[in-house]
């Protein structure tokens, strides 16, 4: 009998660094769809307002920002109507933050499934990010509706053709969130301390991105490091596309695209390498 | 034509317990630091907190085989299934195989309580690796098999546990893999449904030529379903082949050693200044050709102890029996009697056809003048009682704490 040929699969202890298998993930695409569906259905079960929360959540946040940062702290909004200034920042930030916090608990929250059945583990974080991408798409429609209302109301706002870059903005944010989430998930599985730390770091990180203030507020000497945050060019470009108040920062947007893809790649490699070992420590 | 479906070669699995998986960053940094400092690589075999869950496992499974995995809890059965199911990695060795595997380590994995039965069929099917088209094609069959047709659009959180299990197994049973891995799923469901499941398993292996790997503690089901069996003990295969032989070796392996504790051979006997226990022993009165404890076997408990009380007074001993969940089954006491100092013996007979199958342990209490507890020897003896049934097609766990053989009769009061 031929000992080496004729086997369809092999399980052994070797874990190469580049073992992730995109073809296999594609084969499980139905499962991704199903997971997204499950999350959509389950997230608004037994709530009175149901899917309306997708809209209410950014509106309420924006309102709070408006009161605190615009009215009380009187922070500049770059001559953009405050509501319109905060809304995209808060939507993009929430997308990043939700994407990251959901993926970083991949192992902890799915241990009961991972312990019982095999499928490519990457499916789960991918489905989380897709779920949040779906939400942000709807929220952006809300933004456009509010924008139109302000425009009709006579506000002096001018969009431009760079609005077409919105998918790129979503992609960068998603890739960055997923990449960070994958990296953190590997460690939260083992060190539960990180959960608390991440909540704190995320809150801090929000103030490192131009969510509640414009980038023009940053002093010259911190500019470079501030703009290297992949979220900064995304949020600023988004505002530029809708308010034409500043040119699109293409240079930093390019860097942001490259760095978030790198983070995603790093996360994927690390995740794929560790996914099976983690099952022994959870 | 190569008929081999799975070949495991030298498979080992090694778990780290305790410190290394303590789950806090501080501990790990400490370990890492001390490891660096001492310039040591953690020596695998020397470490106290490591165990080999599996060691050098070799076996082959042919097409159409129903292979039963037998062993006590912690013998490595589940770890082996997990490795073959690609849930955890082996530490060494490899498993190679042909054909699609479906693992049923649990029924209803990934069922979401907020979703309806219909949605869960799809979700669960996808998790098990089915494509949408496959599920569409088999949907009616699944619903039919489960018998929950009327509740298909009800969230499963409103299902009874029986319905839930039926639906879950129905998805699994229609998976259509070449290799099916099943871990102890027969413990659930009502008898009618169990019959259906076993029937399905039989037809899957027999007519469709599928290969099944099957873990169970249910000897009755194993005897009926498997054509081969493996006996695992402490992570190693100690017997393989004909299920009947492997099963009886498994049952015997528990009994061959001395059941009990002979403390006289040890440096110190448990006890105190009044009582020192020398020996506790379980002597089963085996039924011919069945050298293992099953529900029919009468069990004699014997114990010997040194009694060292000078003052006048009486002594009473009590035997406490608990099952593995810690439920107190009974408290038997001897009569009160006066003794001189010296070696005493106690004895008690638990008749056959009294205990249900399961694991038990006993403790012995020594009481003076009916009120003063001289000594309590906790869990000094443990034993397992196996199931035995003459016939019948029901393989589920017999319910109840005890299982006496009191006659129940039926008779006709009037003709038709």
Domain extent listing, chain B: 4-245, 257-385
Tell me whether A16 touches chain B (CB under 8 Å).
no
B91 near A CB under 8 A: yes
CB of B87 within 8 Å of a chain A CB? The answer is yes
Q: How confident is the model at residue A181 (pLDDT cuts 50, 70, 90)?
A: very high
Comparing alpha-carbon positions, the chain A residue that sits nearest to B94 is: A12
Q: Tell me if chain B has a CB within 8 Å of the CB of A193.
A: yes
Residue with tokens 């404890």: B293
pLDDT at B35: 56
Give dist(CA A138, CA A56) in Å, integer: 12
Percent of chain B at pLDDT above 70? 83
- Please provide residue A92's backbone torsions phi and psi, each rounded to the nearest 5 degrees: -65, -40
Q: Which helix (H) or strand (E) holds A242?
A: helix A231-243
pLDDT at B48 over 70: no
The mean per-residue pLDDT over the stretch A32-38 comes to 90
Which pLDDT value is given to residue A2? 45
Nearest to A116 among B16, B24, B105 (CB): B105
Q: What is the pLDDT of residue B27?
A: 61
Span of A41-45, B185-189, B192-196 with lowest mean pLDDT: B185-189
Query: What is the residue-averaged pLDDT of chain B?
Result: 82
- What band does B160 get if pLDDT is binned at 50, 70 and 90? confident
pLDDT band at B361 (very low <50, low <70, confident <90, very high): confident
pLDDT at B237 over 80: yes
Question: Does B24 have pLDDT greater than 80?
Answer: no
Inform me whether the pLDDT recorded for B45 exceeds 60: no
B157 touches chain A (CB under 8 A): no
pLDDT average, residue stretch B144-167? 86
By CA distance, what is A194's nearest residue in B?
Answer: B25
How far A7 CA sits from the closest chain B CA (Å)? 5
| B177 lies within 8 A of chain A by CB | no
Instruction: Over range B209-236, report the average pLDDT.
Output: 84
**Does the structure show a pLDDT above 80 at B20?**
no
Q: At what angle do helices B161-173 and B117-127 cross, to 10 degrees?
A: 40
- What are the structure tokens assigned to A133, written together? 């991408």
* Cα of B4 to nearest chain A Cα, Å: 9
Option in A12, A112, A190 nearest B94 (CB): A12
Parallel, antiparallel or unpaired: strands B66-70 and B211-215: parallel
- Higher per-residue confidence, B384 vs A202: A202
Q: What letter does residue A66 receive in the DSSP assignment?
A: I
Mean pLDDT, range B177-204, rounded to an integer = 73
**B window 299-328, beta carbon within 8 A of A:** none
Distance in angstroms (rounded) separating the CA atoms of residues B92 and B73: 22
Nearest to A7 among B83, B97, B112 (CB): B97
Question: Torsion-angle region of residue B86: left (phi > 0), alpha (psi -120 to 50) or beta?
Answer: left
Give pLDDT, residue B164.
Answer: 84
Across the interface, whether the CB atoms of A191 and B88 are under 8 A apart is answered: no
Q: Is B64 on the interface with A (CB under 8 A)?
A: no
Does A113 sit within 8 Å of B127, measured CB to CB?
yes
- pLDDT band at residue A3 under the 50/70/90 scheme: very low
Q: Cβ neighbours of residue A151 under 8 Å, at least 6 residues apart?
A: A157
- Contact call for A11 and B87, based on CB within 8 A: no
- Give the SS3 label for residue A185: helix
How close A45 comes to chain B (CA, Å)?
Answer: 7
Residue % of chain A over a pLDDT of 90: 54
Distance CA A178, CA A256 (A): 14
Beta-bridge partner residues of A125: none
Q: Which two tokens stand for residue B193?
A: 């449904």
pLDDT reading at B46 higher than 70: no
pLDDT tier at A279 (50, 70, 90 boundaries)? confident
The top-level CATH class assigned to B4-245 is: alpha beta
Give the CA diameter of chain A. 83
Indicate whether A54 pLDDT > 70.
yes
Structure tokens that stand for B374 in this block:
């001289």
**Nearest chain B residue to A189, by CA:** B23
Chain B neighbours among A 98-127 (CB < 8 Å)?
Answer: 112-119
Nearest to B173 by CA among B187, B150, B194, B155: B194
CA-based nearest residue in chain A for residue B90: A13
Mean pLDDT confidence for A179-195: 88
The answer to whether residue B334 scores a pLDDT higher than 70 is yes
- Mean pLDDT of all residues in B97-118: 82
pLDDT of residue B266: 67
Helix, strand, coil percentages in chain B from 3-state DSSP, rounded to 5: 25, 35, 40
CB atoms within 10 A of CB A201: 12
CA distances from A1 to A5, B5, B8, B11, B354 (A): 9, 14, 16, 21, 54
Mean per-residue pLDDT of chain A = 88
What is the tens place of the pLDDT at every residue in B384-414?
888 888 766 666 778 888 999 899 999 888 8
Q: Do B97 and A9 touch (CB under 8 A)?
A: yes
pLDDT of residue B414: 85
Q: What homologous superfamily is domain B257-385 in, according to CATH?
A: abc- transporter (atp binding component) like domain (2.70.50.60)
**Pairwise CB contact (< 8 Å): A12 & B86:** no
């Amino acid at each position: 009998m031929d000992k080496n040929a004729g086997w369809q699969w092999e399980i052994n202890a070797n874990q190469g660094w580049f073992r992730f298998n995109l073809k296999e993930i594609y084969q499980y695409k139905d499962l991704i769809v199903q997971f997204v569906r499950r999350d959509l259905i389950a997230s608004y079960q037994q709530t009175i307002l149901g899917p309306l929360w997708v809209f209410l959540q950014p509106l309420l946040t924006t309102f709070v920002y408006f009161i605190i940062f615009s009215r009380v702290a009187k922070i500049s909004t770059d001559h953009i109507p405050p509501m319109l200034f905060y809304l995209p920042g808060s939507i993009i930030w929430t997308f990043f933050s939700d994407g990251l916090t959901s993926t970083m608990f991949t192992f902890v929250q799915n241990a009961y499934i991972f312990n019982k059945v095999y499928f490519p583990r990457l499916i789960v974080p991918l489905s989380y990010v897709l779920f949040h991408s779906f939400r942000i798409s709807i929220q952006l429609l809300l933004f456009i509706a509010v924008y139109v209302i302000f425009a009709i109301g006579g506000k002096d706002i001018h969009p431009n053709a760079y609005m077409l870059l919105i998918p790129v903005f979503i992609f960068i944010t998603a890739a960055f969130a997923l990449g960070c989430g994958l990296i953190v998930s590997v460690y939260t599985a083992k060190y539960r301390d990180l959960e608390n730390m991440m909540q704190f770091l995320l809150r801090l990180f929000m103030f490192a991105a131009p969510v509640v203030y414009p980038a023009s507020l940053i002093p010259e000497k911190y500019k470079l490091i501030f703009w290297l945050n992949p979220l900064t060019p995304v949020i600023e470009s988004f505002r530029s596309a809708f308010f034409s108040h500043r040119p699109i920062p293409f240079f930093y947007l390019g860097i942001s695209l490259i760095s978030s893809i790198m983070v995603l790649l790093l996360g994927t490699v690390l995740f794929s390498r560790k996914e099976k070992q983690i099952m022994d420590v959870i | 034509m190569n008929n081999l479906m799975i070949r495991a070669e030298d498979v080992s699995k090694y778990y780290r317990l305790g410190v290394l998986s303590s789950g806090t960053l501080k501990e790990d940094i400490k370990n890492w630091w001390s490891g660096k400092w001492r310039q040591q690589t953690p020596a695998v075999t020397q470490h106290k907190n490591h165990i080999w869950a599996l060691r050098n496992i070799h076996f082959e499974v042919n097409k159409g085989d129903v292979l039963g995995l037998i062993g006590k809890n912690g013998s490595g059965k589940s770890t082996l299934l997990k490795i073959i199911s690609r849930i955890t990695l082996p530490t060494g060795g490899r498993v190679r195989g042909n054909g699609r595997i479906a693992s049923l380590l649990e029924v209803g994995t990934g069922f979401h309580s907020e979703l309806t039965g219909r949605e869960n069929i799809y979700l669960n099917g996808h998790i098990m690796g089915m494509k949408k088209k496959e599920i569409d094609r088999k949907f009616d069959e699944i619903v039919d098999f489960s018998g929950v047709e009327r509740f298909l659009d009800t969230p499963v959180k409103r299902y009874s546990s029986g319905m839930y299990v039926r639906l879950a197994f129905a998805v699994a049973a229609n998976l259509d893999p070449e290799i099916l891995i099943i871990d102890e799923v027969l413990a659930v469901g009502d008898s009618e449904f169990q019959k259906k499941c076993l029937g399905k398993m039989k037809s899957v292996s027999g007519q469709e030529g599928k290969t099944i790997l099957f873990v169970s503690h249910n000897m009755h089901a194993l005897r009926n379903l498997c054509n081969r069996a493996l006996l695992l003990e402490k992570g190693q295969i100690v017997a393989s082949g004909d299920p009947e032989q492997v099963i009886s070796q498994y049952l015997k392996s528990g009994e061959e050693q001395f059941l009990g504790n002979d403390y006289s051979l040890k440096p110190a006997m448990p006890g105190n200044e009044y009582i020192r226990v020398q020996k506790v022993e379980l002597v089963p009165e085996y039924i011919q050709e069945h050298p293992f404890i099953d529900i029919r076997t009468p069990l004699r408990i014997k114990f010997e102890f040194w009694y060292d009380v000078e003052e006048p007074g009486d002594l009473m001993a009590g035997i406490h029996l608990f099952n593995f969940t810690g439920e107190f089954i009974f408290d038997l006491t001897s009569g009160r009697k006066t003794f001189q100092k010296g070696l005493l013996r106690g004895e008690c007979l638990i008749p056959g056809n009294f205990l249900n199958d399961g694991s038990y342990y006993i403790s012995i209490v020594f009481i003076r003048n009916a009120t003063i507890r001289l000594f309590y020897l906790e869990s000094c003896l443990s034993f397992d009682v196996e199931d035995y049934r003459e016939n019948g097609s029901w393989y589920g766990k017999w319910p109840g704490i005890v299982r006496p053989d009191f006659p129940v009769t039926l008779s006709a009061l009037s003709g038709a």
